[in-house]
Structure 1
């Protein structure tokens, strides 16, 4: 079953907002193990991610990522502030944002959903489990869920 709101079958664009180089590498390797159809773009903080999204909105030949994976603990602008900015921008408000962080704190989970994160995932402690997370993200978000159309 293919839904019109799904990303093109040949490519899935993911913006990873993560400042830890080790976690960036683990995430890249995990998604590469799941599918070659993932294009992972990395920014290291919320300000850089917002700037990237703004540039994409201004470029008529570019499109927004299909999904954002967001760490909460970031320099300059943290994940909560990033979420608040994205959700208050009408051009970005429907962009799927999944929190992917090491925090298991109940207040972080609650705050993420209060700021309209689409999901909250805890980074695994075992590097091999990153593949399980990547499989779950791809299987659910790109094969099962109907995503909102992204403005072009």
Structure 2
């Protein structure tokens, strides 16, 4: 598999969506390069683990749901921007949410994210982003 992206982190509390998105992404990346977190706190732990284990921190994509328990997408992004964004400089965050609320989109824009996607991730979107 040849991809311009080396790893993907799915951050979503919906197991069915994660399963579907993982299947789509696996057309472009091997399973061991697809990480799944069910909330922002787990996602931060995965990213910190990548650093501790000296795994690749370049050329990644984070697909981020907004509405999750424990730590939502906005809270994750605020902490990610403060603590990890510099280390993951070649990683792109794509909000991937079922919410089409303009306030959510504006808040993501305020946090520096302009590439908002509405669930579900399609094969066409995945292909454009991953290959």
- Please classify the TM superposition score into its range, dividing by the shorter chain length: 0.7 to 0.9
Tell me by how many angstroms 1:136 deviates: 1.6
Instruction: Describe the shift of the 1:76–1:85 C-alpha distance in structure 2 as closer, same or farther (beyond 3 A).
Output: same
1:135 to 119, 124, 129: 124
Partners of 1:114 and 1:94 in 2: CA distance: 20
Partners of 1:54 and 1:78 in 2: CA distance: 18
Tell me by how many angstroms 1:22 deviates: 1.1
The aligned length equals: 125
Match of residue 99 from structure 2: 103
Residues 1:74 and 2:68 aligned together: yes
Q: Considering only aligned residues, what root-mean-square deviation do their CA atoms show, in Å?
A: 2.2
Structure 2: stretches of 5+ with no match in the other structure: none
User: TM-score by structure 2 length?
Assistant: 0.82
Partners of 2:116 and 2:12 in 1: CA distance: 15
2:116 to 120, 125, 132: 120
Residues 1:63 and 2:59 aligned together: no
Partners of 2:107 and 2:90 in 1: CA distance: 18
**CA distances 1:91-134 after superposition (whole Å, capped 9, x unpaired):** 2465310000000000001111211225110114xxxxx4xx24
Residues 1:53 and 2:47 aligned together: yes
User: TM-score by structure 1 length?
Assistant: 0.72
